[in-house]
Chain A
């Protein structure tokens, strides 16, 4: 995974902080454990010392643990807060999204993602967004719980029926970013993938225009067929 959005940059940093905290725990516990086990075998022939501790040591250890947990908590809150902040559209981004982010509705359904753009156009599987532009995905679901998961661009969030969940990101370069749904949603769950194509604002606008006109043409054709009586 390589972060390509301000949010995922922060997440990446927090992952490293979490990894370091976890590594400290693992190393401290296991080194202490194995040193104790190596040193105090009964073979050394000493009588076990009937030691117990007073409260003082326990309070000091608990205090140290509290400080450790508090540091991790504060860092996590700081970076989570940064990660969930709405990014702003940059100079190279879509002009229309300068003030408010570009809102796209993402609907999870067994086993596809459907994306609806502001002009009414929609696409399945493939999401096209402009580069350097703040994008807000409004996640909804029409059937079961799905998780939208494109790790390079944003953290994963659930699409729950009856609720709206938000994902914000700003892609920093053009390209294609893959993703796989991350909550078991039935038999074709493993095939439920998505692809985010980050393109220039012009290409984005061309895409949604073309998509809209093609959809309209198709609808016109169907309406025509029905009116002519060729389709019951």
Chain B
């Protein structure tokens, strides 16, 4: 009697149905695939945002320029806003959180992978919808389109509807990604990975996801009201008929202010990892940085009315907004203090990730300092809605999302692709970007604070002392754009041609460096017991001790000649 063959033995080594890589990617629910798509897409939109900004700066290079029509400029401005915030900065942040944080806490996947997949799909749908809208009529209402300009009576084409739908889809996607990641971080940490031992970037992801859960639905609610106003005769934000135009400002600024904080929380989380790794030191004081990140999420978002200091909201609320903004001095100051103190006494390896991290700290410090002045109530009456505000926001967000994002990209690129990015092009890109950012935005401080150049206008008038500032700023944006493109080109090239990285090219202390580069779909074959905040360092020490011991044993067991 012959035994019937066991199916699982027969199937062993049986070739699976080959599927193209893009089908694998598009249907994957693996957090690493989703994270990579988000990051790649975000960097693509960074390129688009840079081009859009450059076109606007081309229009503003000389006074009373007629390169763009007013409507064309307003469309470009709205498109730039949605691209830079919803299609570049937030997805980049969520992408890195989503890729790295599960690896850092030793999870073999995410808790609700289909929800994450849906989040990515919604984000993708939002981007496609917006850029399909670009082919007929994009929104003309600006970066944060204030009602009642967005009401049907004032903008009757469907640009605002496309804007609202696209940002709504993307935001819903971010909320789903945040739910998935938060569940993962709460329920699937490796044995021994208590909250006090969670890597700082994974902590930033936790805080950031909570923040997204808080602010995302606020924007979704506002967008729903806007769509009802426009399409079903609603009066939520319409004036004179019981509506409240200021309601839109409150709701939308809660989201935008929270998103600003989210980007900085991401940047500081990544910078803290990088600074510690490249200094060869632990973070100077972890609890202070962790606490500060959480305080920034809460208090920073509570400062939303800082954007409404010229609106009729009452002086008491203005003081409240200023108080919240100034309370932020403490957590931001503590984080900067601890990051710099981590550098002190270290052995700094000045590789590209550290370089970009230092650049990010420097640019963010300028942005936050300028924002401090923007929050002083009466001072804001003068410099709000001038190019001074443009410059403050861009120093903080270019510092956070572009410099911080590129630091994270250089740092985790070897993990994602198995290859390191070219060092020479990185350095060239870094210095170009530093020069570009300073040349682009420092003149706007002067144009705004000294000469009062107003924001969002498609032209400025000659004879007001604005010509030189604007020309220099336009040149600066060109330089910044070239610098950004260099890193993008570097990333594309290095995916194929970069030097082989190995699993731990930087000597990192956290668990993502325990996996292969790129990690296998299940991330970890075995998980170490986590006994400190620096599990990889413990593992390296254990290996070194064991090697030393076995060498010693080998020596002792040799016969004496």
Binding site for B on A (CB under 8 A): 1, 8, 10-12, 14-15, 17-19, 21-23, 25-26, 29-30, 32-33, 36-37, 39-42, 44, 46-55, 57-58, 61-62, 65-66, 68-70, 72-73, 76-77, 79-80, 83-84, 110, 141, 143-145, 147, 149, 151, 154-158, 160-165, 180-190
Of the candidates B154, B343, B386, the one whose C-beta lies within 8 Å of that of A143 is B154
Task: Check: B240 CB closer than 8 A to any chain A CB.
Answer: yes
Q: Provide the residues of chain B in CB contact with A50, threshold 8 Å.
A: 281-282
Q: Are A76 and B322 in contact (CB under 8 A)?
A: yes
Q: Are B284 and A76 in contact (CB under 8 A)?
A: no
Binding site for A on B (CB under 8 A): 70-71, 74, 77, 140-142, 146-149, 153-155, 239-240, 243-246, 279-286, 288, 310-312, 315, 318-319, 322-323, 326-327, 329-330, 333-334, 336-338, 340-341, 343-350, 358, 361-362, 365-366, 368-370, 372-373, 376-386, 449-452, 454-460
Q: Tell me the bound Cα distance from A9 to B334 in angstroms.
A: 34
Q: Tell me the bound Cα distance from A24 to B456 in angstroms.
A: 30
The contact sample of 29 A-B pairs, CB cut-off 8 A, is A15-B379, A26-B366, A29-B365, A42-B347, A42-B350, A44-B347, A49-B345, A51-B281, A51-B344, A53-B284, A58-B285, A61-B333, A73-B326, A76-B378, A80-B376, A84-B378, A110-B154, A144-B146, A162-B240, A162-B245, A182-B384, A183-B385, A184-B455, A184-B456, A185-B149, A186-B74, A186-B155, A189-B74, A190-B70
Q: Are A155 and B382 in contact (CB under 8 A)?
A: yes
Q: Are B311 and A158 in contact (CB under 8 A)?
A: yes
Q: Provide the residues of chain A in CB contact with B246, threshold 8 Å.
A: 160, 163
Q: Are A165 and B319 in contact (CB under 8 A)?
A: no
CB distance from A9 to the nearest CB of B (A): 11
Of the candidates A1, A42, A84, A188, the one whose C-beta lies within 8 Å of that of B450 is A1
**6 additional contacts (CB under 8 A) given A141-B239, A180-B457:** A21-B369, A25-B368, A25-B369, A40-B279, A40-B343, A181-B454
Q: Provide the residues of chain A in CB contact with B361, threshold 8 Å.
A: 29, 33
CB distance from B365 to the nearest CB of A (A): 4
| CB closest chain-B residue, reference A16 | B379
| CB closest chain-B residue, reference A7 | B378
| CB closest chain-B residue, reference A179 | B452
CB distance from A30 to the nearest CB of B (A): 6
Q: Provide the residues of chain A in CB contact with B380, threshold 8 Å.
A: 155
CB distance from B147 to the nearest CB of A (A): 8
Q: Are B365 and A26 in contact (CB under 8 A)?
A: yes
Q: Are A36 and B340 in contact (CB under 8 A)?
A: yes
Q: Provide the residues of chain B in CB contact with A44, threshold 8 Å.
A: 347
Q: Tell me the bound Cα distance from A104 to B282 in angstroms.
A: 63
Q: Provide the residues of chain A in CB contact with B77, threshold 8 Å.
A: 184
Q: Are B312 and A76 in contact (CB under 8 A)?
A: no
Q: Are B372 and A144 in contact (CB under 8 A)?
A: no
Q: Provide the residues of chain B in CB contact with A40, threshold 8 Å.
A: 279, 343-348
Q: Provide the residues of chain B in CB contact with A17, threshold 8 Å.
A: 376, 379
Q: Are B149 and A73 in contact (CB under 8 A)?
A: no
Q: How many A-B pairs with Cβ below 8 Å? A: 266
Q: Provide the residues of chain A in CB contact with B74, threshold 8 Å.
A: 184, 186-187, 189
CB distance from B252 to the nearest CB of A (A): 12
Q: Provide the residues of chain A in CB contact with B239, threshold 8 Å.
A: 141, 160-162
| CB closest chain-A residue, reference B326 | A69
Q: Provide the residues of chain A in CB contact with B458, threshold 8 Å.
A: 189-190
Q: Are A22 and B454 in contact (CB under 8 A)?
A: no
Q: Tell me the bound Cα distance from A162 to B346 in angstroms.
A: 59
| CB closest chain-B residue, reference A164 | B312
Q: Are B346 and A48 in contact (CB under 8 A)?
A: yes
Q: Provide the residues of chain B in CB contact with A52, threshold 8 Å.
A: 282-286
Q: Provide the residues of chain A in CB contact with B71, threshold 8 Å.
A: 187
Q: Provide the residues of chain A in CB contact with B451, threshold 8 Å.
A: 1
CB distance from B364 to the nearest CB of A (A): 9
Q: Tell me the bound Cα distance from A36 to B154 in angstroms.
A: 54
Given A1-B450, A26-B369, A185-B149, A18-B312 contact (CB < 8 Å): no
Q: Are A41 and B330 in contact (CB under 8 A)?
A: no
Q: Are A18 and B376 in contact (CB under 8 A)?
A: yes
Nearest 8 A/B pairs, CB to CB: A155-B381, A161-B239, A18-B373, A48-B280, A22-B369, A25-B369, A190-B457, A80-B378
Q: Provide the residues of chain A in CB contact with B452, threshold 8 Å.
A: 1, 149, 151, 180
Q: Provide the residues of chain B in CB contact with A61, threshold 8 Å.
A: 333-334, 337
Q: Provide the residues of chain A in CB contact with B319, threshold 8 Å.
A: 77, 80
Q: Are A41 and B70 in contact (CB under 8 A)?
A: no
Q: Are A48 and B373 in contact (CB under 8 A)?
A: no
